[in-house]
Amino acid sequence: MDSAVYEVFFNAEDRHWWFRARRRIVESVLDQEFHRKDLRIADVGCGTGGMAGLLSGFGSVTGIDDAPEAAALCARRGLDVLTPEAWHERAEVYDLVTAFDVVEHTDDDVEFLHGLRRRLTPGGKLVVTVPAYQSLWSVFDDLNHHRRRYTRGGLRRCLIEAGFRVTRATYFNVVLLAPIAAGRLWERTGWGRPPGAGEALDRWFRVGPLNGPLEAVFASERHWLRRGSFPAGCSILAVARPAG
């Protein structure tokens, strides 16, 4: 990510409706997947540590990130962060490995996922989220140094090729799909002006009077996800286990 984005994320993660609602959705999924609270957890690409509080409710958390900005901001949350090199030297295995909006940053997503599979216990699980649909690409993807966006089928194929058995894959963040798709189309017609970097960050992470209602609507998706999956959405969540 651009250096400026780290500080913006850190300031927004505890307050902004998107981060808060996503945590509630992920928490609901983990509650379904795990009946233990003593897991060994690796949060790969932990960023500014916004998911650490949630994950710590399920066990002990190790954060992994290669950005000095991330480590410094995680320290303000009390989370120690390992570089990928230090993490690989430890060669520990985990009951749960998470990669929240990380896979899309990698040059070789299959190789990256294969590396995560090697760090799981035989009964361990990987939980990943990624942004959906290449057609929704925007300046925000550029700021975050994304390489790609995914379809559910595309993510599933990557996981299988990396040696996983996918036990769950669903779109989520249905709330924003229609307005975001309309906005991207408007920009590409030439009638709408794509926002610049600073404007995009300010627009997206502004906390206004609709923050509470938007969180409530987005977070309500967790109730449906306890029973089924969504056929479309702005993001994708997958749960996978080592195959064989």
Tell me the pLDDT tens digit for each residue of 24-60. 999 999 999 998 899 999 999 999 999 999 999 999 9
164 forms beta bridges with: 242
**For position 202, what pLDDT does the model report?**
67
**For position 193, what pLDDT does the model report?**
59
Distance CA 79, CA 219 (A): 26
**For position 6, what pLDDT does the model report?**
87
Q: What digits encode the pLDDT tens for the residues 190-243?
A: 655 556 656 666 667 777 898 999 999 999 999 999 999 999 999 999 999 999
Geometric angle at alpha carbon 118, from 65 and 233, rounded to 5°: 65
| SS3 assignment, position 162 | coil
Contact 40, 59 (CB under 8 A): yes
**For position 150, what pLDDT does the model report?**
98
Q: Which domains does the chain have, with CATH numbers?
A: 3-242 (3.40.50.150)
**For position 175, what pLDDT does the model report?**
85
Taking phi over 0 as left and psi of -120 to 50 as alpha, with beta for the rest, 109 belongs to alpha
Confidence of residue 189 (pLDDT cuts 50, 70, 90): confident
Q: What digits encode the pLDDT tens for the residues 70-106?
A: 999 999 998 889 999 999 999 899 999 999 999 999 9
Contact 70, 48 (CB under 8 A): yes
DSSP state of 66: S
- Round to the nearest angstrom and report the end-to-end CA distance of the chain: 35
Check whether 136 has a pLDDT greater than 90: yes
Buried b (16+ CB within 10 A) or exposed e, 196-215: eeeebbeebbeeeeeeeebb
Show Cβ contacts of residue 57 under 8 Å, excluding neighbours closer than 6 positions.
Answer: 27, 37
Q: Closest Cα partner for 222 from 81, 24, 9, 41?
A: 24
- Hey, what are 207's tokens? 């906390």
Distance CA 167, CA 184 (A): 32
**For position 242, what pLDDT does the model report?**
97
Helix (H) or strand (E) holding 64: strand 59-64
For the entire predicted model, the pTM comes to 0.93
